[in-house]
Amino acid sequence: MDFSLTSRQRLLKEAIREFMKGECDPVVTLELAKKKQFPWEIYKKAGQNGYLASYYPKELGGQGLPLLDYCLVMEEMIRYDNRIGMALSLGSIPAKTLLRFGNEEQKKKYLPRLTKGEAVSSIAVTEPNHGSDIRYLETRAERKGDEYILNGNKTFITNADISDFYTVFAQTNPDAPAYRGISGFIVEREQEGVTALDLGEKIGLRTTSSCSIEFRDVKVHKNNLLGKENHGFTYIMEALNEGRAEIANEAVGLARGVYDRALLHTKTREQFGQKIGKFQNISHMIVEMSEEIESAALLAYKAVWLIDQGKMDVATSLQAKVKCTLTAIDVSLKAMQIFAGYGLFEEQFIAGYLGDALASWLLEGTGQMQRNTVASHLLGKL
């Protein structure tokens, strides 16, 4: 069993670090966060360098890399600057249902713009009355001839106000049993009847928006049906379980980034005539942070490695997402203690890492719901 990175992976991480150093002026990225602006310029440059959605096949503009390599790219970006790294990573993850279940015509039309950094996408599942509970959806898609008429509301949709397109999930058979009457559709933001509005200020993911979307008599051609009608719940779950493994690796990037800053502060900050790292309480917190990160990273890497081997394990992906996001939160809180009052200022990055860590716990399902699923896998029927 070899835990070392390959030479390609090491070179890739080095290249990403140099890219981020050259593109991410902390003064500029802080202004982007304060103004809630997506970092389009850096996003486009990352696409030109082949760093976005690099696990996509080459015919769709990707690099054909293993998912683990892509996750190492995202981890390194987020580690260097969470404001930019999280925005770049969330630009293509929502299109995973299209990548996995779309037909060739659909994929070639929409996905290459994501890899080039020319567009972002959103997935629209969550509704005001349906967060964790998506057995049924209130958004309806009624078939009329060659079109579906889409009506309903979605909420907490990342980047919906700037996305080129959404993968929208709606109820196509209201009379079907739970989970079986949902279908997916590709809907362009500029279509008539689509309205996306930013929900307001939030403490995490500041360079991405969180939006509500209203669909009012939106006409969706049958060619934009994603996969088979009434199979949408399966598509959601398969894509989310893979996405959750990616979020676990993003959380590792958050944890490493905030740890790097805490470690440097511990080595340079002086109180009572000595470096604060000489105080046992501080030094033990640094050790605990390192222990947590390394154990979480192993689980995160295992989760995506299994996906690369064609052996995705739902329980492992969910455990990784829960463990890694909790680790990012805990490490950020420890860093806040080490920085003390300085940690409250956004210029130090600590508050931003904490906000993103808290948001990651909620992304693609809360940790509590994911633990329910893992419990059912571990315990079976009792």
Domains by residue range for the chain, with CATH: 7-115 (1.10.540.10), 121-230 (2.40.110.10), 234-379 (1.20.140.10)
Residues 23, 75, 76, 364: which is the catalytic one? 364
Please name the residues in contact with 14: beta carbons below 8 A apart, sequence gap of 6 or more: none
Please state which of the ranges 223-237, 305-319, 364-378 shows the lowest mean pLDDT.
Answer: 364-378
364 catalytic? Reply is: yes
Contact indicator for 80, 261 with CB cutoff of 8 Å:
no
Q: What is the DSSP letter of 63?
A: -
Whether 134 contacts 178, CB under 8 Å: no
**Residue 202 pLDDT exceeds 90:** yes
Strand, helix or coil for residue 239: helix
Query: Which of 88-92, 120-124, 141-145 has the least mean pLDDT?
Result: 88-92
Express each pLDDT in 322-348 by its tens digit.
Answer: 999 999 999 999 999 999 999 999 999
The encoded tokens of residue 282 equal: 């501080």
Burial of 298 (0-12, 13-18, 19+ CB in 10 A): middle
- As a whole number of angstroms, the distance between CA 79 and CA 256 comes to 6
Tokens 């009457």 belong to residue: 181
* Distances, alpha carbon 155 to alpha carbons 51, 88, 238, in Å: 29, 21, 21
Asked if residue 172 has pLDDT above 90, the reply is yes
Residue 134 has pLDDT above 90, yes or no: no
Q: What is the pLDDT of residues 23-34, one digit of tens each?
A: 999 999 999 999
* pTM of this structure: 0.95
- pLDDT-derived band of residue 364, with 50, 70 and 90 as boundaries? confident
